[in-house]
Structure 1
Amino acid sequence: MAGDAVSDRRVQPALDGAGVRVAVVAGRFNDAITFRLLDGVTRGLEALGAPEPIVEWVPGAFEIPLAAKAFAESGSVDAVIGLGCVIRGATTHYEAVAGECAAGILRAGLATGVPIIFGVLTTEDMDQALERSEGPGGHNVGEEGAHTAVEMVRLLERIAG
């Protein structure tokens, strides 16, 4: 797994999730992994003092952007986290699903101005998916997504004044 090249001058935000309303849109496909990511989101939000997220399920990663955009447009949440798992197979289906999911999440966030966090694993195999959903070392992309959601909500609040 590629690492993060950390500078000794990195700015670490003080994250306060009090009152930050988060929705999670989770893909059922590969839900053995998605549930692990969801546990990470819940744990991450709780650690930051944020309320428990609203959780809705969609068939798979390809459907996440539309549901995430609907949540963002509803005004009922401050951020949305998309969770899913796309594992490369023997066909090009992986590229279409993973790429369009990522692009759709990006477009939905830009269109609505609401942080929509990409918590969709795109891995070569199940071992990589397990590793990124709390395998060795305790790495969980869902928990990172919770932190990112709170950080982006607070950043946009500061920018708006």
Structure 2
Amino acid sequence: MSGDGSPDLAVDGTGLKVALVAARWHEEIMGGLLAGAQQGLQDSGVTDVTTVRVPGSFELSVAAARLARTGDYDAVVALGVVIKGGTPHFDYICQAATMGLTEVATSTGVPVGFGVLTVENESQGLHRAGLRGSREDKGREAVLAALETAVALREVAPRTS
């Protein structure tokens, strides 16, 4: 199972400002990812949240970049799902989302939570979406990873903007 060996993430995010960027493709899975992310923010004490919806996972990078570059957010969390089909489209979109979001994080210094599911089929997505009966909650995990990184960076290298 993909969650084996994952760290137990918990963080006090009080005072942090976070942007959620969520795709709209695969509505049921996305609903679970978004709900898990929102619950993770709430459980961590984050109350200042902006949510932006974009069409699909390809569009996550441009929205995350725009938000991160404002200097207003301590972290950005990207949520999406790409389900493998019979063409190379899956590979292109997965690579574009991964590389694009990595570039946003490294070029801006703003932690980006990677909550993009890249799965073989809908069932795998449902099992990772944090829905009733799911084995994992990748929306929550992406939020907690971004928050923990933001807190760690704030302690060692406070933002100047």
- TM-score of the pair, normalised by structure 2: 0.90
Between the aligned partners of 1:56 and 1:27, the Cα distance in structure 2 is 9
Name the residue aligned to 2:157: 160
Name the residue aligned to 2:58: 62
- TM-score of the pair, normalised by structure 1: 0.90
Kept in 1: contact 2:130–2:139 (CA 8 A): no
Q: What SS class does the counterpart of residue 4 from structure 2 fall into?
A: coil
Q: What SS class does the counterpart of residue 123 from structure 2 fall into?
A: helix
Between the aligned partners of 2:10 and 2:101, the Cα distance in structure 1 is 26
Kept in 1: contact 2:22–2:54 (CA 8 A): yes
Q: What SS class does the counterpart of residue 53 from structure 1 fall into?
A: strand
Alpha-carbon offset, residue 52 of structure 1 = 5.0
**What number of residue pairs does the alignment pair up?**
157
Moved more, 76-85 or 24-33: 24-33
Alpha-carbon offset, residue 13 of structure 1 = 6.7
Q: What SS class does the counterpart of residue 16 from structure 1 fall into?
A: coil
Gaps of 5+ in 1: none
- 2:124 aligned with 1:120: no
Query: What's the C-alpha RMSD, in Å, of the aligned pairs?
Result: 1.7
Gaps of 5+ in 2: none
Moved more, 117-126 or 134-143: 134-143
Alpha-carbon offset, residue 57 of structure 1 = 0.9
Moved more, 14-23 or 147-156: 14-23
Kept in 1: contact 2:9–2:145 (CA 8 A): no
